[in-house]
């Protein structure tokens, strides 16, 4: 093994951590995951209203599209 | 060696695949029931004088929406799962990946789905008043919060007791006590305000299918993530040239 290949030498199974980069990646990943879950389970139009305006709330596109999944995966639905 | 990105990739992949399995299952088995519930709902709305509200999407689009929702949910849960897994893995890198994946998914299933479900079970379309949606969402999120906290506490407490050399009955009774406390606080939350007017067989068939699709989602995630972890572990420890190259490339490529 060359020294340049591994930034931190750990046991073979260990997690290689670059604190700043991995912190940012983890934060971004968690945000993306939460937005996806919000769309499937919680959204009542807020997600699309910046793009579509008021119709996003009245037609509730995201909610209606995810409707069956929301019921089946035990989220509260209208 | 493992990087956070590769764990996240495993989580998204295993979760997305589990979502395909779970969504496919519910498309085949749960959609007939959902269709029936929607028809009953429309019939009741017409019978009570009002006309059934115009639907934004056709039922077949909503069927596709179920699959999309299942895959999105699976991938999102898989990513969150991978973040928690990375934290555990960093603290204790020697655990066996298959076993850890199953344990963590079991914990997630219990905390995120099972405990909240015991308090607020899934309801088919037709149950649910749009006027109470905010109350119900808040209560449901609180139930998930209680479930997750209880499972995390139980996990930590059991590890702590094991480190201090306590016997299995002591550890398991401690975990049981936490679960009972969680159930008690769940049932202290306000009742679901909506009357369940759909036929009881329909409601319970629906709940069983709901449980099955969530079981498939978490089970598929556990199996997929565990298998991917085993595969990487094997490649990492293989004495072959290819395995060595891979473990050398790992950190600098990703």
Look at residue B246 and tell me whether its pLDDT is greater than 80.
Answer: no
Shared domain check, B148 and B70: no
Q: How many domains does chain A have?
A: 1
Residue A78 belongs to some domain of the structure:
no
Mean pLDDT over B66-89 rounds to: 97
Q: How many domains does chain B have?
A: 2
The predicted structure's pLDDT at residue B46: 85
Q: Which residue has the tokens 């793009």?
A: A51
Residue A61 belongs to some domain of the structure:
yes
With beta carbons less than 8 A apart as the criterion, state whether B108 and B23 touch.
no
Per-residue pLDDT of B110-139, as tens digits, reads 999 999 999 999 999 988 888 899 999 999
Shared domain check, B61 and B169: no
Of A25, A26, A69, the CB nearest to B70: A69
Residue A14 belongs to some domain of the structure:
no
Which conformational region is residue B54 in: left (phi greater than 0), alpha (psi within -120 to 50 degrees), or beta? beta
More confident call, A57 vs B157: B157
Q: Where are the beta strands (DSSP E) in chain B?
A: 2-3
Partners of B69 on chain A (C-beta within 8 Å) are 40, 65-66, 68-70, 73
Please say which residue of B195, B220, B240 terminates a domain: B195
Give, in order, the Cα–Cα distances in Å from B159 to each of A25, B92, B166, B169, B181: 28, 12, 10, 14, 19
**Cβ separation of A34 and B76 shorter than 8 Å?**
yes
Q: d(Cα A19, Cα A31) in Å, to the nearest integer?
A: 18
The predicted structure's pLDDT at residue A9: 45
Of A5, A12, A64, the CB nearest to B252: A5
Shared domain check, B43 and B100: yes
Shared domain check, B122 and B65: yes
Domain that holds residue A65: 19-72
Mean pLDDT over B194-204 rounds to: 91
Shared domain check, B232 and B114: yes
The predicted structure's pLDDT at residue B50: 67
Alpha helices in B92-132 (DSSP H): 97-108, 115-119
Residues of chain A with pLDDT under 50: 1-6, 8-11
Mean pLDDT over B148-158 rounds to: 97
* Arithmetic mean of pLDDT over chain B: 90
What residues contact residue A32 under an 8 Å CB cut-off, 6+ apart?
B76, B79
Q: Concatenate the DSSP letters of all residues of B8-42 into one string.
A: HHHHHHHHHHHHHHHHHHHHHHTHHHHHHHHHHHH
With beta carbons less than 8 A apart as the criterion, state whether B107 and B240 touch.
no
Shared domain check, B120 and B22: yes
The predicted structure's pLDDT at residue A5: 46
Domain that holds residue B147: 128-195
Shared domain check, B96 and B14: yes
More confident call, B243 vs B6: B6
Shared domain check, B215 and B111: yes
Look at residue B93 and tell me whether its pLDDT is greater than 50.
Answer: yes
Shared domain check, B115 and B35: yes
Q: d(Cα B10, Cα A55) in Å, to the nearest integer?
A: 38
The interface pTM score, or ipTM, of the predicted complex is 0.87
A3 to chain B: nearest residue by CA? Answer: B248
Shared domain check, B56 and B137: no
What residues contact residue B37 under an 8 Å CB cut-off, 6+ apart?
B124, B125, B126, B198, B202, B206
Shared domain check, B67 and B78: yes
Shared domain check, B183 and B83: no
**Cβ separation of B93 and A13 shorter than 8 Å?**
yes
Mutate to test the interface with A, among B76, B95, B145, B198 (most CBs of A within 10 A): B76
């Amino acid at each position: 093994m060359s020294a340049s290949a591994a930034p931190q030498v750990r046991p073979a199974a260990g997690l290689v951590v670059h604190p700043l980069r991995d912190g940012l990646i983890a934060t971004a990943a968690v945000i993306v995951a939460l937005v996806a879950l919000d769309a499937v389970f919680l959204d009542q139009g807020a997600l699309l209203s910046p793009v579509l305006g008021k119709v996003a709330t009245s037609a509730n596109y995201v909610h209606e599209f995810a409707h069956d999944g929301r019921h089946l995966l035990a989220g509260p639905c209208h | 060696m493992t990087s956070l990105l590769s764990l996240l990739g495993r989580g998204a992949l295993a979760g997305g695949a589990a979502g395909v399995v779970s969504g496919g299952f519910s498309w085949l088995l749960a959609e007939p029931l959902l269709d029936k519930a929607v028809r009953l709902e429309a019939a009741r709305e017409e019978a009570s004088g009002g006309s059934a509200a115009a639907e934004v999407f056709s039922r077949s689009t909503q069927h596709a929406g179920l699959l999309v929702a299942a895959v999105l949910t699976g991938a999102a849960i898989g990513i969150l799962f991978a973040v928690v897994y990375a934290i555990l893995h960093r603290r204790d890198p020697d655990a066996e990946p298959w076993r850890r994946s199953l344990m963590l998914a079991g914990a997630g299933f219990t905390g995120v789905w099972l405990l909240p479900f015991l308090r607020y079970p899934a309801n088919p379309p037709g149950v649910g008043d749009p006027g109470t949606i905010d109350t119900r969402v808040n209560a449901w999120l609180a139930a998930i919060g209680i479930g997750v906290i209880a499972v995390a506490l139980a996990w930590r407490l059991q590890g702590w007791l094991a480190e201090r050399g306590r016997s299995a009955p002591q550890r398991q009774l401690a975990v049981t006590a936490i679960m009972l406390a969680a159930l008690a606080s769940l049932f202290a939350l306000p009742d679901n305000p909506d009357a369940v007017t759909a036929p009881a067989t329909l409601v319970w068939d629906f709940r069983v299918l709901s449980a099955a699709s969530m079981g498939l989602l978490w089970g598929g995630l556990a199996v997929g993530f565990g298998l991917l972890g085993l595969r990487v572990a094997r490649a990492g420890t293989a004495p072959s040239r290819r395995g060595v190259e891979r473990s050398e490339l790992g950190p600098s490529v990703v």
